[in-house]
Chain A
Amino acid sequence: MKNPFENLDRILEHRARLQIMSVLVTNEAYDFNSLKEILQTTDGNLATHMKALEKEKYVSVNKSFVDRKPNTRYKATEKGKTSFKKHLDALETILKQRK
């Protein structure tokens, strides 16, 4: 049998990134500040993870201004959604095999 660990997504092995993707697959879109609030993290930390996810094309970004304040909204791309699902499936297989 194939090693299920090979199916894990290298990017999503970071817990914070997995959490970000989980919010973006359950919601159509989410803004930076609300994400920060839910993950209870800092601006810098979240920005770093978002950059990484953006670079992998797991998320798409939409920057705009609301009341002259910058408003950044993120969406999960199809690639991001598929990778998230694959990663969860791999996790499931790993945890099942252990039992």
Chain B
Amino acid sequence: MKPIEQYEQDLSSIRTIMERSVKFISLSGLSGILAGIYALIGSAAAYALIQYPLSITSYRQESVQPPSVIIKLIGIALVVLAASLLTGFWLSYRKANVHGTRVWNETSKRLVINLSIPLLTGGIFILILLSNGHYGVVAPACLIFYGLALINASANLYEEVRYLGYSEIVLGLICAALQGYGLLFWAIGFGVLHIFYGALMYHKYDR
């Protein structure tokens, strides 16, 4: 038998340990902000490619693009994705070093699995839609599946990520109802929302 204070300390010590054993705390809010900026740059490039000189909010009539334009769009999307992932990895690695932990541990493994299932499903689904010429549903499908992936992985991340996930899904559904504004919603969902929630997380956890 130990003194009662010891039992109190037992209880408070496991509270933090349980939380840390589930959450991947090395993800930096800065990654979100930078990913949002890349997405906005990518959207601007895509806008210049397919919509200019029409204004951003105007409805685009012409939805079928020549294959060369589609390939360029896919190229822009891949560059934005790669830049965001690399930034995320690099900043997490740096934050993990500061905390004295490793990036690749039980929580990050689970995080990757939980993110991948909805993302891969969505990715394959979107490729099938694209190959059938349904370009209009690509933007809402990206937002909705990304939102589902975030909610699925939110147990392993800070709670803000779950709200980001809800926001992406709502935005994706609105986008699905207003087809032709895909690029605008894509820029809001992947650009503005990332910057907003990234800044929120940075302010709360990283400073």
Contacts and interface: CB of A to CB of B under 8 A. Distances in A.
Nearest to A22: B14
B2 to A, nearest CB: 7
A8 B10 CA distance: 13
A80 to B, nearest CB: 14
A19 B17 contact: yes
Contact of B7 (A26, A37, A38, A91): A91
Q: Is the interface of A mostly helix, strand, loop or mixed?
A: helix
6 closest pairs, A vs B, by CB? A34-B106, A22-B14, A23-B21, A34-B105, A26-B18, A22-B18
Interface of B: 1-2, 4, 6-11, 13-14, 17-18, 20-22, 101-102, 105-107, 110
26 contacts: A13-B2, A15-B6, A15-B10, A18-B10, A19-B13, A22-B18, A23-B17, A26-B21, A26-B22, A27-B106, A30-B21, A30-B106, A31-B106, A34-B21, A34-B106, A34-B107, A38-B17, A38-B21, A88-B11, A91-B10, A91-B11, A94-B7, A95-B4, A95-B7, A95-B8, A98-B4
